[in-house]
Amino acid sequence: MSTLEVGNVLGLYVGAYNDVWFGVACDQKQIFATTFGFSKEAVLDSLMKNIPFNVSFQYEKEPSSLAKRVLDALNNLYMGKDSSSVFPLAMEHLSNYARSILRVVILIPVGYVSSYGLVAKAGGGGARAVGRIMATNPFAPIVPCHRVVTSDYGLGGYGGGIDVKLAFLAREKRGYISAREIPVDGKKLHVFPVEFVLKRLRKE
């Protein structure tokens, strides 16, 4: 692992949009964790669990300019909107494998999903290993782990709850009908329309 560099003390910022709370842990240059939930306490707890153990942090009431942009982007992502924002994510403290998988998943565009197995083909390891990385994703929903499903279009697991994952995907449907291939470091990530998942669930 590389040496982790932090600009001064890490700030923890939270903001509520309607009935949903969003949170970000960041310094002046990069993001260390993002999350969302339905209470301020749950969001702060999640952020603290994802901060590297040797990094000092403090809760800030007023968001920095970076934190404000991130919180706005989190709300847009939660509402199913396209987001063109690209944020610097601090991954130096994560394993090489976790970084590889997270960098694959962040490429899944809104309106599409991929499977644990297909992500593994593009990023390495197996489907179960991908599932473990998704379960500990420190950058939800910027790294859209909710867009990773089972090979038979089932929802699989989700830390925020299956109902939350389903609602996420329902908001992201765009009417696409064809699968796509996304280049990933000389490999290809296969993605397919979220409608495939929603159609299967309607049949059930």
**What residues are paired with 59 via a beta bridge?**
12
User: What's the sign of the alpha-carbon dihedral 122, 119, 96, 24?
Assistant: positive
Cα 173 to Cα 196: distance, rounded to the nearest angstrom: 10
Tens of pLDDT, residues 42-82? 999 999 999 988 888 999 999 999 999 999 999 999 999 98
Asked if CATH classification 1.10.10.10 holds for the domain at 96-203, the reply, yes or no, is yes
Interval 152-198: pLDDT, tens: 999 999 988 999 999 999 999 999 999 999 999 999 999 999 999 99
